[in-house]
Structure 1
Amino acid sequence: MIDTFVQLIFALPLMVMVMNFGVTLMLRFGAESTFLVKNYALQPRVSVLLPCFNEGEHVFHTIQSILSSDYPMEKVEVIAVDDCSADDTFEWIEQAARRWKNVRAFRNPVNSGKHQTLSHALSHSSGEILICIDSDCIFDSRAIAELTACFVDETIGAVGGRVGISNAQENVLTQCQTVVYYYSFQIMKMLQNWTRNVICISGCLFAVRREHFEAIEEQVKHRNWFGVGVRDGEDRYMTHLLLLKGLKTYINIDAQCWTAAPNNFRQLFMQQLRWRRSGLRDLFWTLRKFGDNLDVLHPLTVVNLLIPGALQVLWPAMCIYGLASGWLAEHLLQDMQLYFGIWVVVGLLYNLYVRWHNPEQKVNPLLVGALGMWFIADSFVITLVALCTFDVGEWGTRGTSEKKV
């Protein structure tokens, strides 16, 4: 009986993935209501809020891509705020401000984190629509127009875009992440789009109505974990706050930006750890505000908020039990072969699709099999570290500053 229960628990992540993939695939290609009707005649004034930290010259190219957008430039401003970088980031945004009149450069007095830096940028902005981004993102020329076109629906509070990987072919790590990013935006979020309850709009490309951002600004600035300020995961938290206000959220997959994926294990670990902390904090906050979530959100959204996080918490406990009982040693090789095979098949199907749509995102299917092996270790180690470090938060893979608040 116990052996059957353990097998079921270890199979749950795979079962959830298969069920989620099947349902979302049908919605992606078979339900028109998954997608908003857009109005490209809408051209509100846009403020791009660009928090920067240890980004160097790349932030200049980010600004350049924004100002090369297919959108009236007299209606676009870029508010770039450096968070006391240890490199020459501020010099690059000052150079951009000298070159383009609609770019303004500021610097925090002390290192404060992305959430505080966004607030600083907000105070200098004037746009009706605010686009919060990461400083390493490169905009597609249609990104701004695609985001603003979605605000024709007055109930929409925030709109996100699709994030592509710019260094897809660099090594096995970047290839694996290319598949994950593509699946996340093209397939996984389609169920959330259908309910208009996207639970996490990526901080790479996050468009929000000004009045709604101003309404949640103080909560974002003062978020804490038992009195200790929280610096990471502001995108998920902002999305959830907007949902609890009864607003709709949406991902427009035609609005695209590009980012470089971590190309070494240290950076990948830090990225995944940051995301895991954010997701688990959101799980516990959902449980704390369960009644509010149940009253406001679509039932499928509540399930989506609870099940993945619960599995992440349960997985390490089951791995420890499996090791102690000898069950894992008996089944580990068989399970690893299964996971490897499934991900190779995923890689093959993925390549067939992107061959016709995004050929630059093609990967080696055999290398994608390594992704399944990573998830086994990832779900165990990273979850345990995340649970013990909720009071820690930095700018992810960009290093640290000597000044803190």
Structure 2
Amino acid sequence: MIDTFVQLIFALPLIVMVMNFGVTLLLRIGAKSTFMEKNYALQPQVSVLLPCFNEGEHVFRTIESILASDYPMEKVEVIAVDDCSADDTFVWIERAAQRWNNVRAFKNPVNSGKHQTLSRALSHSSGEILICIDSDCIFDKRAIAELTACFNDDSIGAVGGRVGISNARENVLTQCQTVVYYYSFQIMKMLQNWTRNVICISGCLFAIRREHFEAIEEQVKHRNWFGVGVRDGEDRYMTHLLLLKGLKTYINISAQCWTAAPNNFKQLFMQQLRWRRSGLRDLFWTLRQFGRNLKILHPLSMVNLLVPGALQVLWPAMCIYGLATGWLAEHFFRDMQFYFGLWVVVGLLFNFYVRRRNPEQKVSPLLIGALGMWFIADSFLITLVALCTFDVGEWGTRGTSVRKV
């Protein structure tokens, strides 16, 4: 009986993934309401808020891609704020400000984190729609127009876009992340789109009405974990705050940007750790505000908020139990063979799907199988570290500054 129960627990992530894939795929193919009507005649004033840290010359290319957008440039401004980078990032945003008159460059007096830097950028902006981005993103020409077209519905508080991987075929790590990103935006978020309750709009491309950002600004700036300031995960927190105000959130997969995925294990671990901290904090906050969430959010949104986080917390506990009882040693090799084969199939299906749509995103199925097993094993360590470091937060994989508050 106990053996069957443990097997079921270890199988739960796979069961949830399969069920989520099936339901969301059906919604994407068969439910028109999954996608909202867009009004391209809407062309509000747009401010792109660009917090920068240790980005170097790449931030110049980011600004260049924004200003090459298929959108009236007299209605676009870029507010770039450097958070005391240890490299020449500020030099490059100053160079961009000198080249284009709708780019403005600022620098924080001390290193403060992305959330505080976004707030400072907001104070210098004037747009009706604010697009918060990461400083390593490259915009598709239609990204701004696609984002603003979704604000035709007054109940929409924020709109996100689709994030693609610019270095998809660099190595095995980037190939695996290409599959994960593609699945996340093209499939997984379709159920959330159907309910208009997307629970996390990526900070790479996050468009929000000005009045809504101003309404939650202080909460974002002063977020803390038992009195210790929190720097990361502002995108998930902002999305959740908007949902609790009764607003709708949506992902427009036609609004695209490109970002470079981590290409080594250290950067990948730091990225996954940052995401895990954000998700687990959101889980505990949801439990703390359970009644309020249950009253306002769609029931399926509650499932999306609670089940993944609960499985992440349960996974390390079950691994420890499996090691202590010898159950894991008995089943490890058989299960790893199964998971390897499953990830290879995922890679094959992914290649079949993207070969006509996004051929540059093709991957090696065998490499995906190998790294897929690493993700399963590594999630144990990442969850344990995340649970012990909720009060730690940096600028992702970009290093640190010598000056901090």
Q: Distance in 2 between matches of 1:377 and 1:120?
A: 40
1:33-67 CA-to-partner distances (Å, cap 9, x unmatched) read: 00010000000000000000000000000000000
1:304 aligned counterpart, secondary structure: helix
2:37 aligned counterpart, secondary structure: coil
Q: Distance in 1 between matches of 2:398 and 2:254?
A: 28
Q: Is the 8 A contact 2:70 2:141 kept in 1?
A: yes
Q: 1:379: Cα distance to partner? A: 1.6
Q: 1:376: Cα distance to partner? A: 1.7
Aligned to 1:297: 297
Q: 1:30: Cα distance to partner? A: 1.1
4+ runs deviating over 2 angstroms: none
Letter in 1 for 2:170: E
2:206 aligned counterpart, secondary structure: strand
Q: Distance in 2 between matches of 1:51 and 1:179?
A: 27
Aligned to 2:129: 129
1:75-134 CA-to-partner distances (Å, cap 9, x unmatched) read: 000000000000000000000000000000000000000000000000000000000000
Aligned to 2:224: 224
CA-atom RMSD in angstroms: 0.4
1:181-209 CA-to-partner distances (Å, cap 9, x unmatched) read: 00000000000000000000000000000
1:306 equivalent to 2:306? Answer yes
Aligned to 1:41: 41
Q: Distance in 2 between matches of 1:7 and 1:88?
A: 52
Gapped regions of structure 1 (runs ≥ 5): none
TM normalised by structure 1 equals 1.00
Q: Distance in 1 between matches of 2:261 and 2:374?
A: 16
Aligned to 1:277: 277
Aligned to 2:98: 98
Letter in 2 for 1:46: V
1:401 equivalent to 2:380? Answer no
Q: 1:372: Cα distance to partner? A: 2.2
Aligned to 1:317: 317
Q: Distance in 2 between matches of 1:379 and 1:322?
A: 15
1:386 equivalent to 2:398? Answer no
Q: 1:371: Cα distance to partner? A: 3.1
2:19 aligned counterpart, secondary structure: helix
Q: 1:378: Cα distance to partner? A: 2.2
Aligned to 1:198: 198
2:348 aligned counterpart, secondary structure: helix
Letter in 2 for 1:205: L
Aligned to 2:371: 371
Q: Distance in 2 between matches of 1:372 and 1:73?
A: 43
1:153-200 CA-to-partner distances (Å, cap 9, x unmatched) read: 100000000000000000000000000000000000000000000000
Summarize the alignment of residues 177-192 of structure 1 with structure 2, pairs less than 5 Å apart: 177-192=177-192
Aligned to 1:3: 3
Aligned length: 405
Q: Distance in 1 between matches of 2:246 and 2:320?
A: 40
Summarize the alignment of residues 114-263 of structure 1 with structure 2, pairs less than 5 Å apart: 114-263=114-263
Aligned to 2:85: 85
TM normalised by structure 2 equals 1.00
Q: Distance in 1 between matches of 2:231 and 2:68?
A: 31
Aligned to 1:354: 354
Q: Distance in 1 between matches of 2:376 and 2:209?
A: 39
Aligned to 2:267: 267
1:308 aligned counterpart, secondary structure: helix
1:352-401 CA-to-partner distances (Å, cap 9, x unmatched) read: 00001100100011111023212222220000000000000000100000
Q: Distance in 1 between matches of 2:179 and 2:355?
A: 13
